[in-house]
Chain A
Amino acid sequence: MISVQACLDGILLGILFALIAYGMALQWGVMNIINIAQGDLVILGGYIAYFMYLYGIHPAWGVIVSPIIMYFVGIAIYKLVINKVVDRDLFISILATFGISILFMQLMNFAFGADVVLANSDYGTTMLFNSNVVLPNSKIFSAFISILFAICLVIYMKKSRLGRAIRATAQNARAAKILGVDTEKVYAATFGINAALCGVAGALISITFTIHPYMGLPYTIRSFMIVIVAGLGNLPGVAMSGMGLGVFEEFADYILGTEFRIGSVFLLLVLILVYRRFKLSRKREYLK
């Protein structure tokens, strides 16, 4: 029964990871940058929901408020920093966003304190299989909202004018520019959408789990891992590997103990990269 519990927990958690990873894949595919500050954007989104909770508003409304605020935060980050690293070496973008990550981490530490907090949603729990498996309703709620946002975004990307412009830029930025797409605007919008997705995920995390100013980096690593396993622009793949990662984490937590949970995530990243390196070296290729 405990494994059923871990599986279900993991799948619900993994859907959240997949949402963050989708944002990562979006900006990686469109702008060719890797955003180390992704996790910190998530945590910032979480704090927005937490503050609404502190002022007596139900934290679930954070799912709507936090992406709106985060969209503008994302645009601001893009205008200040990211637009100067888009065309440059990927390592420059990694370092620059690492700087942003440290900055955000410390600012959040000042503003909100170094305590572990969570926004209590009072959703109760659901019992399954003769009360052997306990699922908090907040987790089910968060998984449902994540799927909803993901579907909305996919439809938006397929149908709207901006969505098409984003996809065109991802395919070939130069050609898109020639055909009259304002790539600068597209980049800004992409980063804003990514930040908004992080905001949604953060708000959900603040309801379901806990948030802490220094917890950002593991979320970045998780989304990076999901993206490299699934590949860019492969949405079902992102969802599947997100759930797989969630299940892996729950089992690592259960078998090795909670203190090794984050460590096992980072170790898995190393193992996946090394595995891929050996797989590709047989064909005399390398990760590009």
Chain B
Amino acid sequence: MSISKNNLILYIGILIFGIAAPFLFPAFKVQLSILCVLIVLATTWNIQGGEMGYNSFGNILFYGLGMYLCASVQVGMFFPLAEWTESGGEKTFVHTPAQFFQGMAVGLVVAAVVPTIVAGLIGYSILGLRGHYFAICTLGLGVAAGEISGGIEIIGAGQGFTTPPFPDVGSLESRGEFFYFLSFVVLILTFVAVRGIYSTRFKLILNAIRDNEDKAEAMGIETMKYKIVGWMISAFFCGLAGGIMGGLVGYIDSTDVAFDGREMGVFMVLMAILGGKGTLWGPIIGATVFHIFKEGFWTFFLGWQYVALGVLIVVIVIYFPEGIMGWLREKYPERFGEVVDEKDRKAQVELK
């Protein structure tokens, strides 16, 4: 992949801003880390929803799985897991800093790898469904996972699971900074990986699947293989994001935090659509706008934020299905490298 000069400046600018952000806005560190996680979720949703045309409500499955796995490994490496959840947040066991970071590192690896394997295993049966059957099936998967994990005793069942508290390493600021930089690194990893993917043949195959799957298959593409690989890539980063989010929130509940299909599961779809499906920058812009909007409502319309979100979903889906990037593309097609024939455009405007 080649990077033009303008883009290079842009990337370096974003990188510098990203590194400086927690020091510039110390009060918003947690919000910035959540924003990073949201961008990761939206970007990876876009691999299926935008590029592959498989609108999934089920990526929340990997997110929640990663969250539970990361926390369980982090606890289970050093202490008995059942007793930890039994005590329900009572600090009978305390992680030393070394134990905490080791546990976090191993936990994140597990949180990324296991959902990927799960995605590969269920991919063959789930990705054979099409259109709205796929959407409803994945919605069912997410909710089923939430309900079932809410009945399992060892991970806290209905009363929730407290993740290990951040160890005392000197300054009070370090917790926020640690999670911010962790999520920022994951964000950069995701961006680099997705950008890399989008500049290869793989993306073209995904687009072919979106545009006409039967035709793609007839052209000799093993669509099922590529669909599963696409889903596995999504699962990998969703799991990572979930692991970080679990540590950040500090408390895992099966249906309200981890497998929150009614909120987070819809948010990722919404963010990608708001920004513009099937573009690299769309989900990033969408997630940023969405997060600012959501937090604004949180502060000013306390209690009414979900009502506002419901209205927002309806409005975006009905009046703005192309998203911000789609709107920009329509307005300034030259900037997207599209050659516009002035005569042709005029003719089309007249037709409208």
Contacts and interface: CB of A to CB of B under 8 A. Distances in A.
Interface of A: 34, 81, 84-85, 90-92, 94-96, 98-107, 110, 217, 221, 224, 228, 257, 259-260, 262-263, 266-267, 269-270, 273-274, 277-278, 281, 286-288
Given A98-B266, A100-B310, A103-B314, A91 B135 contact: yes
B289 to A, nearest CB: 17
Interface string B207-232: 00000000000000000000000000
B88 interface: no
Given A221-B140, A262-B147, A267-B148, A95 B262 contact: no
B14 interface: no
A101 B306 CA distance: 11
B129 A260 contact: no
B158 A287 contact: no
Given A91-B131, A260-B148, A266 B317 contact: no
Interface string B252-291: 0000000000100010011001000000000000000000
A224 B311 contact: no
Contacts of B36: none
A259 B140 CA distance: 16
Given A95-B270, A98-B313, A263-B147, 14 more contacts: A95-B269, A99-B310, A100-B310, A102-B313, A110-B303, A217-B143, A221-B136, A224-B136, A257-B151, A260-B151, A269-B144, A278-B128, A287-B130, A287-B133
B312 A99 contact: yes
A270 B148 contact: no
A269 B306 contact: no
Interface residues of B, number: 42
Contact of A96 (B136, B148, B151, B318): B318
Contacts of A105: 262, 306, 310
Given A257-B151, A259-B150, A90 B132 contact: yes
B223 to A, nearest CB: 11
Nearest to B213: A286
B55 interface: yes
Nearest to B126: A274
8 contacts: A99-B314, A101-B310, A103-B310, A104-B310, A266-B141, A267-B148, A286-B129, A286-B130
B262 A102 contact: yes
B309 interface: yes
Interface centre among A102, A257, A269 (most CB of B within 10 A): A102
B306 A102 contact: yes
Interface string B146-184: 111011000001100000000000000000000000000
A183 B210 CA distance: 31
B129 A287 contact: yes
Given A99-B310, A266-B144, A34 B266 contact: no
Contacts of A263: 143-144, 146-148, 150-151
Contact of B140 (A110, A270, A277): A270
Contacts of B269: 95
B137 A100 contact: no
A271 B129 CA distance: 12
Contacts of B304: 106
B136 A34 contact: yes
A8 to B, nearest CB: 26
Given A266-B140, A273-B129, A95 B317 contact: yes
A102 B144 contact: no
Nearest to B148: A263
B89 interface: no
A278 B321 CA distance: 33
A277 B137 CA distance: 11
A96 B307 CA distance: 14
